[in-house]
Amino acid sequence: MPATKPCVSSVPMRCPTSQPSRRSGAGTGYGCTEALRGILYHRYRLDDSGVILDAKIVPPTSQNQKSIEDDLWRYMPERLNLPHAALTWQCEQAIRNYDPCISCATHSLKLKLDRL
């Protein structure tokens, strides 16, 4: 990014910059961050050296999973006459209504349908 260097250096710094303080030792930290599709919760447990021993991340998509599945169960019965590809596409659209992350929303549905 050589082209941006002159621009960045020409902007006066209004706030002094500093490094955050670091504290070593074992401990557990919690946090949450607001994302476009909900709240991201996370927790980390570290040892005395600062090595992460355990981490738990709960993204918004997993929090919405039950509602997504319930909506699909209600959505499907009236559409069982559709061809497999059309039904899959419509279910994927219903999933996208929850605005999950792009990797979850893109072709995430593996529809297995047993027609009688």
pLDDT at 25: 82
pLDDT at 62 (0 to 100): 81
Could you tell me if 47 and 68 lie in one domain? no
Cα separation of 51 and 44, whole Å? Answer: 10
pLDDT at 107: 57
The total of structural domains in the chain comes to 2
Q: What percent of the chain has pLDDT over 90?
A: 26
CA distances from 19 to 22, 31, 51 (A): 9, 20, 20
pLDDT digits (tens, 9 = 90+) for 38-64: 889 999 999 998 899 999 999 887 888
Range of the domain at 48: 24-58
Mean pLDDT, to the nearest integer, of 91-99? 81
Is residue 34 located within the same domain as residue 65? no
Cα–Cα distance between 42 and 33 in angstroms, integer?
Answer: 9
Query: pTM for the full model?
Result: 0.54
Q: Is residue 41 domain-shared with residue 65, that is, in the same domain?
A: no
Position 113 in a domain: no
pLDDT tens per residue across span 5-30: 666 666 666 666 777 777 778 999 99
For 25-50, b where at least 16 C-beta lie within 10 A, e where not — what string? eeeeeeeeeeeebbebbeeeebeeee
> In this structure, are 48 and 66 located in the same domain?
no
C-beta of residue 40 within 8 angstroms of C-beta of residue 33: yes
